[in-house]
A and B are shown apart, each in its own frame.
Chain A
Amino acid sequence: MPYFCNMKLSAIPKWGKAKIKEINHPLLRTKLLEMGVVPGVEITLMMRAPFQGPIAFQCGNTNISVRSEDADFIIVN
């Protein structure tokens, strides 16, 4: 899978890899920071629920799931 640049996390296909660039949602940013998801960290998109449902991405040794409308605020590089 290629690397994905300058796009929303919600747009990455399954198994796609990317690096977090910024999170434009204060609450989500803090919460993800506390879970260890910070700009620069590499993620892999692991799961996608149908009908624009939640997505799940792997970061380190953990899988984190967010709703896709929240994933719109996460920009990857």
Chain B
Amino acid sequence: MKILLLGNPNSGKSTLFNSLTGLRQKVGNFPGVTVDQKSGTMTFQGQQHEIVDFPGIYSIYPKSAEEQVVYNALNALNPQEEPCIGLVVVDASNLERGLFLFSQLADLQIPLVLAINMVDLAERNGVEIKQDVLEMELANTPVVLMNARVGLGKDRLLKALQHQMEHGLKETYFSVSQGMIALEDISLQEQDAEKRFQKASELFHKSVITRTRSKEKSSLDGILTHPILGYFFFALILIGLFQAVFTLSSFPMDAIEQGFHWVSDYLSGLLPKGPFQELVCNGIIPGISGVLVFIPQIALLFFFIALLEDSGYMARAVFLMDRLVRPFGMNGRSVVPLLSSMACAIPGIMATRGIPNPKERLITLFVAPLMSCSARIPVYTLIISVVIPSKTVLGFVQLQGLVLFALYLLGIVAALTVAWVMQQVLRQDRRSLYLIEIPEFKPPHWRNILMTVFDKIKVFVLEAGGIILALSIVIWAVSNYGPTAERKTALRVLKQQEAYISAQNDERERLESSVLLEHSYLGKFGKGIEPIIAPLGYDWKIGIAIGSSFLAREVFVGTLSTIYAHAETSGSYRLKDKLLQEKKADGSKKFTLASGISLMVFYVFALQCLSTLAVARRETGSWRIPIIQLLLFGAMAYGGAFLCYQLF
């Protein structure tokens, strides 16, 4: 039988869901919207049952996209054809409003079980619940007092569910109204809510004894939401988060890349030489590696985000940051996704799922790729080392470091500007309201946190991984294949050159791959777009490198080294020196300050990342937003680079 898990936010619903289903759960989207739908199976007494975990709600009448999902699902129920049970989870410390929601569900004529959760916290809050009174009044509903975090009351809950499955009793205590009120009829909803609240309140006062305790002012909140110290603390937490994501993820990321490199080498020895071997070893395996390499960053970031959420700190951070990002059409909840995009936009975009308001979520998701991510660092540092002199300005500031800082700042300013424009242009959902509950601090529940991390990895690999893999194979193919006759001629010409004949074996290989890349389809693309990118100060070589960057931005550096393999240099193999020494036909330097700055600005704006596009598609449900992002940020990159090249 189908069990619907419904309840207030912060009532411990997810903990209960995890405890009932264990690992037998799957995440997906509710039909038509990008709201997580979690469902799972549980077996007891030899029978398997499906549990659907719904977003937390205070009422069945929706005020946000997440809540709309619950309304739609309840509206579509057909108990005659598909019997189901509602498991209503309420917070014992806030039973009054829990009973309010319960009353709405009871009047829908679904057999219910009432699980009153977190009874330990309630006791500490001076709340005593008389279960016998509740059970007497709610004659047709089993009532279970429990604490899902430690598994207390789980057996009683299973028995209660079993009981309802056998008897299917419908609760008649409230009977305020029958069925659902039309979504548009706000005034009728309000009248209904008032009557309902009175009834729920009556029942609450009958069944609960509250010993008013003078609540001591929480000293932790005194610091964590202090007007000055609070921000200081938040900054500390963010710095710690970045350090961790950067440093801890680099080792597993290297290991994944090394591991797949090894597999690819091993297989290339094993498989017969030919197009199939090349496809497997150079196309598919590096493509899979390119998907899996994001897992460490996603795992670490969501580990920290889930930790902040589960402990109750996140709501405080949202509270503190809301005012700062509101002028840009965002919500306090946008801050963590936006800042985590400085490590990588992929987990950043995935984290926007926590923003309840669709407009604020869209804005945050849209501008996230403008924050300079860690994949841009190799590009920035290479070009800085080529065009920016290593000297100190103002006595102590390193000029190269200053430029790097300016690039990051440019990304942030661009993100906020685009957000501000979107805030002006997009229509506001009239039902949008910032109204959040700040939960009590709790020690984190590790199982919940690990489940979140696991879910996010699964979603990324299964739902974005395929697209990333397919597109990276396309890029590999165009950079490795080209018109055969032309490639043969080019290789023949190369083999007659003095430099090739006098070169060592591995140097010869480098020269060959350079020529082959020049005469590949990607090479053709680079040469084809040369007239378009010439006003930015780039030639076809940079064109190729930009094209290959779509795999991942840092590929820029590797592609350039391949192309420049045969560049004449006075004894240096360093890419930096080759770029510096390259001359135009008239003898002037090819790679100038102007073209360098133009290129860096291009990389600040341009959305050259297949994986980001694939994740944005997954999170918005269509290609529309990623295509707009690609075009808009591309135009900004072109415009900015053009301006810089002309100015410097």
Contacts and interface: CB of A to CB of B under 8 A. Distances in A.
A2 interface: no
B631 interface: no
Contacts of A32: 435
A61 B125 contact: yes
Interface string A48-77: 111111101010111111110010000000
Interface in A13-58: 15, 26-36, 38, 46-54, 56, 58
Contact of B319 (A27, A51, A65): A65
B94 A67 contact: no
Nearest to A38: B197
Interface string B268-285: 000000000000000000
Given A34-B59, A35-B97, A36-B94, A49 B435 contact: no
Contacts of A51: 323-324
Contact of A31 (B122, B194, B324, B433): B433
B431 interface: yes
B436 A50 contact: no
A50 to B, nearest CB: 4
Nearest to A57: B438
Contacts, number: 106
Given A26-B186, A27-B431, A31-B58, A67 B322 contact: yes
Interface centre among A28, A36, A48, A53 (most CB of B within 10 A): A36
Contact of B435 (A15, A26, A52, A66): A66
B225 interface: yes
Contact of B93 (A38, A49, A61, A64): A61
Contacts of A27: 63, 431, 433
Nearest to B57: A34
A36 B96 contact: yes
Contacts of B315: 65
Contact of B217 (A15, A34, A49): A15
Interface in B158-210: 186, 189-190, 193-194, 197
B328 interface: no
B32 interface: no
B215 A58 contact: yes
Interface residues of A, number: 33
B190 A29 contact: yes
A26 B323 contact: no
Given A54-B434, A65-B435, A47 B319 contact: yes
Contacts of B217: 15
Nearest to B98: A36
Given A54-B434, A65-B315, A30 B100 contact: no
A38 B97 CA distance: 11
A43 to B, nearest CB: 13
Contacts of B434: 54, 65-67, 70
A6 to B, nearest CB: 23
B498 interface: no
A61 B94 contact: yes
A64 B438 contact: yes
B322 A63 contact: no
Interface string B493-531: 000000000000000000000000000000000000000
Contacts of A67: 322, 326, 434
Contact of A63 (B125, B194, B437): B437
B119 interface: no
A55 to B, nearest CB: 9
A29 B186 CA distance: 11
Contacts of B332: 54
Given A15-B217, A50-B323, A56-B319, A34 B58 contact: yes
In the A-B complex, the 3 residue pairs with the smallest Cβ-Cβ separation, listed nearest first, are A53-B323, A36-B97, A61-B93
11 contacts: A27-B433, A30-B186, A31-B63, A36-B97, A36-B100, A47-B221, A54-B323, A60-B96, A65-B437, A67-B322, A67-B434
Given A27-B433, A53-B322, 7 more contacts: A31-B59, A34-B97, A49-B227, A50-B323, A54-B322, A65-B435, A67-B326
